[in-house]
Amino acid sequence: MSVGVLALQGSFNEHLAALRRLGVKGMEIRKAEQLEHVTALIIPGGESTTMAKLAEYHNLFPALRDFVKTGKPVWGTCAGLIFLANKAVGQKSGGQELVGGLDCTVHRNFFGSQLQSFETELSVPVLAAMEGGPASFRGLFIRAPAILEAGPNVEVLADYSVLKDKATSYKSSAESGEEQTVSEEKVIVAVKQGNLLGTAFHPELTADTRWHSFFLKMAGEAGDQSSSCSSMAEEDLADCQQPRPIDLPIFQ
């Protein structure tokens, strides 16, 4: 198994370190031709506009889109999630180019500026069922995006409740004598759709490697399915649907 990590900007070194802890050597990806040598790809967190400009400069977008279309697993964290979304809102003037593939609408800076970065415990029942360990994961949100809408084929792996002020402003509520009301709004922060995985937070900045192990199993299943399908007769390909899990370390 060969896992590439897009190394234009951001936390690619932290992803490489997490892969090493699981016994997998990652490959830094900076050129389109390097994608031919990996079976899976991680697009790390960072500054999405800067990453997009560098990817455009190196003519990486066509190769990244082709990689997604091959069915090889791709995981985007934070800025990487924005890259993989079919639609992004809240962008800077002029917007940015996207790779696409995830049937989602992502808000680029949903949680605010760097000063609004935070940590929280997320409920992750699917991750815990697959990888063991606790039923929660410590999510690190750094100038993070959020998924506002997800298509019917998108599996939600984690969400987060945000307090939303229903009043137009505190001042107007006070002047009118109305009581200010606050409600909870759930936004999606982790999804899976076929060969694509997206997290709005940064698992690579924690000691918990369960998300990386989860992704490696996606890569292993894709490789097993591809190799077994290629050896089958064309009329039997329709039966090649069930992936074969591989053994990887789980969170202790």
Catalytic one of 14, 104, 131, 202: 202
Predicted confidence pLDDT, tens digits, the chain (252 residues):
799 999 999 999 999 999 999 999 999 999 999 999 999 999 999 888 889 999 999 999 999 999 999 999 999 999 999 999 999 998 765 567 899 999 999 998 898 888 889 999 999 999 999 999 999 999 999 999 999 999 999 999 999 998 764 433 334 444 555 555 556 788 999 999 999 999 999 999 999 999 999 999 998 876 665 544 334 334 443 443 343 333 333 333
Active site residue 229: no
Q: Is the pTM of this model over 0.85?
A: no
The highest-level CATH class for domain 3-161+187-239 is alpha beta
Catalytic one of 78, 107, 131, 212: 78
Catalytic one of 14, 15, 107, 204: 204
Please give the sequence-ordered ranges of beta strands (E in DSSP) within the chain, or none if there are none.
3-6, 26-29, 40-43, 74-77, 85-89, 102-107, 118-123, 136-141, 146-150, 155-165, 182-193, 196-199
* Residue among 202, 212, 216 at smallest CA distance from 246: 216
Active site residue 212: no
Cβ-based burial of 249 (10 A; exposed 0-12, middle 13-18, buried ≥19):
middle
- Say if residues 87 and 106 touch (Cβ distance below 8 Å): yes
| pLDDT, position 171 | 44
- Say if residues 113 and 129 touch (Cβ distance below 8 Å): no
What is the C-alpha separation between 195 and 191, in angstroms, rounded? 11
